[in-house]
Every structure is written in C-alpha cells, then in structure tokens.
C-alpha cells in the first residue's frame, strides 16, 4: 500500500514504503498529542535499560516504553476509539516475533570527525547517528550496510558531504526478498561515477553472496528523498523477487512493496476473506500498487481490474500478472476516482471494491464513484485510521453499512496501525438499492 519515492531521509527507522502513503512519511509536526505520548494510561512501562538505545534520537519507534502485548492493547483501543462507532472491532493480529521485520533498510552515509559513518538521521535533522543494531530491521541487511562502510576506504569511495556537495556515497538501500533470501543493494550516489566499482562489488559479493543484484541510483538533488530518478544496474538483473500468498512478485529498488512480509500475508488473507468472493465477482483493486492484493484475490474472483496512479507500478502489476499466469486480471494507470467514475459510467458492473489508499485516505471523488457504482461489498484497507474514519462517515451515510473491522499490526514498536473494514450495501426496499 504503499508507494513510490521510497524513502525520505528520516525514513530508515519507520514503517513502510511509498512516499504518498506509508507511515514512515508522516510529518512529525502533524502527530496528534495522543500519538506523541502513546503510553499514557498504561501502568507497565518497560525499564529504560531494555529500550532501544537509539530510540530518543531516532524517534521511529514511539512505543518503546510498552511491552509488546501492551502495544497491541494500545492499538486495539485506538481502532476502537476511531472505528468502533461504525462496527465491531476484531482482536488485532499481532506478530509472534515482533523484531527485525523490516525487509527494506536504508542508511545515510557521511563523515563525522574524519570517520566514515552510516546510520540514521536524528529526528528532524540531517545529523547522522551511527547505528550498529536496529531491533526492527532485517539483521543481515544491517550487516551488509556495515560491511559496505568498512570497505569504502579501501576503494577510495568517500561519503557525500551535503554542505560541500563533494564525495560520492549518499545512502545505501537494501531490500530482502523475504521468501527467496535474496538481497538487492542500491548504492545512492551524488554523481554517476563510482570509483573502482567492479572491484568494490566483487569484494562485497565475496562477503555477501546472498546479494543477487546491485544498482547504482544517482541522486544529484538537494532533496529529502533518498532515491533519485536515474538508475543503472551494476550487477545482476536489477530486481529481486519475493513470494506472497503463493505468488511471485518482482521488486525493483524504487517500487513500493510492503516492508513487513509476514504481516502482509495476514493482512491480504484477512482482506480477501472479508471480501467473501465466490469465484464470479468483478473485483476492483483500487490503489493497487504492483497488484499484490488483486492478484492474491484473482483465484477467487471472476475478474480483477486494478487501478494505480503510478504508471511504473501499474506496469509492474501487469507484468506480475503475466509471470504468475493470472489471466483474469487487468491493470490500468490512472486516478482511482476518475477511473471508477468512467467505468461505472460505461456500464461496467463492479461487484466488490478492494481499496487501499495512501495515508491521506481516499478522495471524495472516489467515494462518490463507489456509491454510484454501487458494489455490494467494499473492503477498505488503511494505514491511517483517522482518514479511514472520515471516509467511513461518508460511505455509511451514502448507502453502506460497516460490518467488521480487523486491525493488523504491520509496524510493531511504532504507533502506526493498519486496519481493514468490510462494508455492505444497504438495501432500502424490496430489491431496491440505496
Ligand atoms: N495495494 C498496494 C499499494 C497500496 S499503497 C499494496 O498493498 O502494496 C497506495 C497506492 O495508491 C500507491 O501505490 C500509490 O501510488 C497509489 N495512489 C495514490 N493516489 C492514487 C490515486 N489518486 N489513484 C490511484 N492510485 C493512487
């Protein structure tokens, strides 16, 4: 759910993926007071000695002072408070092992007092805090990043200096294909020239043969985005693959892909179950990213139509359909609201809408188009229960009834909470639709 422009700078410590939506991009200044002090009302506070030593400077894991079961209780209450007025809320699906779940890891590189360092940006600043060990990130990705830092001097690769705009390496992004155990490394540089690149990559692969592709991403701008627009493949195919719900997905450095694959499967399975498909329905996968949810639902649907604003992601979705031999899914690039309005206007009958919008929630145009298209069922997946509550208020006053909410903990230790709500169309009279 989540989206492109992977990674603003302070993102390394936070959840998910695409700039328009994932919680990692939430503006700190926009946090609600309750979110700034999430532990209020919980008696059991974790001792300071057990908390992450970087947590105060990093700011990515806001629930450090709560034990994991209390974090789940806190999120359950949050969803009950925001969504409970529309429908019943099922118990949150938590993780058995809420550590090292992030399969996408980013580190900033710099020089501090003459030493090459890598780590995270201190909350709201560009000061790099060296981090040796993060409790929520994939451990091996952390080792790859540490080894890259250790190799730099030997190959005369100097980290980039933002003030002087000299030097080379700005960031490293590592993605793990969770099911395949393969790694993609993106070296983000300020210039297209990476000194001794072949020897450097050879040395890195010797230490980490699990790396199956290395890309060079060039970001010349003074920007808070990690990735630039130019990319060259230095080694391997330039993409890695992962498996979700029995399907294989191709992932590139810049495409959106959920960061917590274990919980993503549970999220998708719960959403598809809530859609109650019987094998005949026409399903709209709105805000579809690379097509993951729609493709996972395709075996239980008559037909899947996906729509996604980012053309590259829409192309990936079509390619993922092809690679998985899914013949009943079509993907389109465009605005979800416009697309649904036109589709409904052209007389295409949509039976079920699966919607997974960015953090800002859905647009009024899309919601109005849903009501016009009148699918019998809507399943709304959200990573921001506040905008979800706003959109539910619209749908429930325009012909829909919320049935059930299912929170899923995609981002343990942070205050972000994913939630699914199923809605059905209310009948207003003998066979007549509201
Ligand atoms: N369902 C996908 C992606 C969800 S993230 C998954 O689970 O991976 C939300 C997606 O909505 C992003 O890919 C973003 O590019 C897309 N998006 C944002 N605004 C949109 C709009 N107006 N119309 C269609 N898609 C949009």
- Reply yes or no on whether the pLDDT at 318 is more than 80: yes
What pLDDT, on the 0 to 100 scale, is given for residue 42?
Answer: 64
Section 213-242 average pLDDT: 90
* Least confident piece of the model among 20-34, 230-244, 248-262: 20-34
pLDDT digits (tens, 9 = 90+) for 94-115: 999 999 999 999 999 998 888 8
Section 411-434 average pLDDT: 81
**pLDDT, mean over the chain:** 87
Measured in whole angstroms, the distance separating CA 87 from the mean position of its chain's CA atoms is: 26
For 316, phi and psi rounded to 5 degrees? Answer: -60, -40
* Least confident piece of the model among 2-11, 27-36, 67-76, 336-345: 2-11
Query: What's 8's DSSP letter?
Result: B
Give me the residue spans of the domains in the chain.
104-244, 260-433
Section 126-152 average pLDDT: 92
CA 132/CA 146 separation, integer angstroms: 8
What pLDDT, on the 0 to 100 scale, is given for residue 8?
Answer: 35
Residue whose CA lies nearest to ligand 1 atom number 11: 287
Section 330-358 average pLDDT: 95
Of 2.60.40.180, 2.60.40.2480, 2.60.40.10, 2.40.50.1070, the CATH number of 104-244 is: 2.40.50.1070
pLDDT band at 39 (very low <50, low <70, confident <90, very high): low
What pLDDT, on the 0 to 100 scale, is given for residue 41?
Answer: 61
Quick one: what percent of the chain has pLDDT higher than 70?
Answer: 88
pLDDT digits (tens, 9 = 90+) for 320-338: 999 999 999 999 999 999 9
- Reply yes or no on whether the pLDDT at 405 is more than 60: yes
> How far apart are the CA of 271 and the centre of ligand 1, in A?
16
Ligand 1 site residues, Cβ closer than 6 angstroms: 1-4, 18, 20-21, 256, 258, 287-289, 292-293, 307-310, 313, 335-336, 356-358
CATH-assigned architecture of domain 260-433: 3-Layer(aba) Sandwich (3.40)
What pLDDT, on the 0 to 100 scale, is given for residue 44?
Answer: 62
Examine domains 104-244 and 260-433 and report if their fold is the same: no
Q: Which residues are marked as active site?
A: 383
What pLDDT, on the 0 to 100 scale, is given for residue 43?
Answer: 57
What burial class does residue 156 get, using C-beta atoms within 10 Å of its C-beta: 0-12 exposed, 13-18 middle, 19+ buried?
A: exposed
> How far apart are the CA of 340 and the centre of ligand 1, in A?
14
What pLDDT, on the 0 to 100 scale, is given for residue 304?
Answer: 98
pLDDT band at 18 (very low <50, low <70, confident <90, very high): very low
Residue whose CA lies nearest to ligand 1 atom number 22: 335
Residue whose CA lies nearest to ligand 1 atom number 14: 3
- Reply yes or no on whether the pLDDT at 11 is more than 70: no
Cβ-contact 121, 128 below 8 angstroms: yes
CA 65/CA 75 separation, integer angstroms: 14
pLDDT digits (tens, 9 = 90+) for 363-400: 999 999 999 999 999 999 999 999 999 999 999 999 99
Nearest to 425 by CA among 353, 343, 362: 353
- Between 272 and 253, residue with greater pLDDT: 272
- Reply yes or no on whether the pLDDT at 32 is more than 50: no
- Reply yes or no on whether the pLDDT at 86 is more than 80: yes
pLDDT band at 187 (very low <50, low <70, confident <90, very high): very high
Of 287, 310, 408, the residue with max ligand 1 atoms within 8 A of its CB, to mutate for a pocket test, comes to 287
Nearest to 421 by CA among 399, 403, 408, 396: 403
CA 41/CA 300 separation, integer angstroms: 43
- Reply yes or no on whether the pLDDT at 127 is more than 60: yes
Report CA-CA distances (Å) from 242 to 43, 94, 391: 41, 22, 32
- Reply yes or no on whether the pLDDT at 13 is more than 80: no
> How far apart are the CA of 399 and the centre of ligand 1, in A?
25
Entry pTM: 0.86
What pLDDT, on the 0 to 100 scale, is given for residue 428?
Answer: 64
């Amino acid at each position: 759910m989540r989206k492109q422009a992977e990674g603003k700078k302070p993102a390394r410590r936070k959840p998910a993926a695409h700039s328009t939506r994932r919680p990692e991009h939430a503006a700190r200044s926009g946090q609600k007071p309750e979110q700034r002090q999430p532990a209020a009302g919980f008696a059991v506070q974790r001792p300071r000695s057990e908390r992450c030593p970087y947590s105060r400077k990093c700011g990515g894991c806001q629930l450090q002072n709560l034990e994991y079961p209390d974090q789940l209780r806190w999120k359950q209450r949050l969803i009950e408070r925001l969504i409970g007025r529309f429908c019943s809320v099922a118990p949150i699906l938590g993780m058995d092992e809420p550590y090292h779940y992030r399969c996408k890891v980013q580190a900033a590189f710099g020089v501090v007092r003459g030493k090459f360092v890598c780590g995270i940006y201190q909350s709201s600043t560009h000061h790099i805090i060296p981090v040796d060990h993060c409790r929520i990130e994939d451990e091996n990705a952390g080792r790859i990043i540490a080894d890259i830092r250790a190799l730099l001097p030997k190959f005369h690769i100097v980290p980039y200096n933002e003030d002087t705009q000299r030097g080379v390496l700005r960031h490293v992004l590592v993605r793990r294909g969770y099911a395949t155990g393969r790694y993609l490394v993106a070296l983000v540089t300020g210039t297209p020239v990476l000194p001794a690149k072949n020897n450097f990559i050879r040395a890195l692969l010797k230490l980490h043969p699990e790396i199956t592709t290395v890309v060079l991403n060039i970001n010349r701008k003074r920007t808070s985005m990690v990735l630039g627009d130019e990319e060259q493949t230095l080694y391997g195919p330039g993409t890695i693959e992962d498996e979700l719900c029995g399907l294989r997905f191709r992932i590139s450095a810049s495409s959106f892909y959920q960061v917590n694959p274990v919980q993503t499967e549970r999220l998708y399975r719960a959403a598809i179950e809530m859609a109650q498909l019987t094998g005949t329905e026409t399903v709209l996968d709105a805000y579809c990213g690379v097509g993951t949810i729609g493709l996972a639902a395709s075996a239980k649907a008559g037909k899947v139509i996906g729509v996604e604003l980012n053309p590259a992601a829409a192309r990936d979705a079509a390619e993922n359909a092809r690679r998985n031999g899914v013949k009943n899914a079509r993907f389109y690039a465009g605005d979800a609201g416009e697309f649904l309005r036109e589709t409904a206007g052209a007389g295409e009958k949509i039976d079920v809408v699966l919607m997974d919008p960015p953090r800002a929630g859905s647009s009024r145009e899309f919601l109005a188009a849903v009501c016009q298209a009148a699918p019998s069922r809507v399943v709304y997946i959200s990573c921001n229960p506040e905008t979800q509550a706003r959109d539910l208020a619209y749908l429930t006053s325009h012909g829909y009834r919320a049935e059930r909410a299912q929170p899923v903990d995609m981002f343990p230790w942070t205050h972000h909470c994913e939630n699914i709500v199923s809605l059905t169309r209310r009948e207003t009279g003998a066979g007549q639709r509201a």
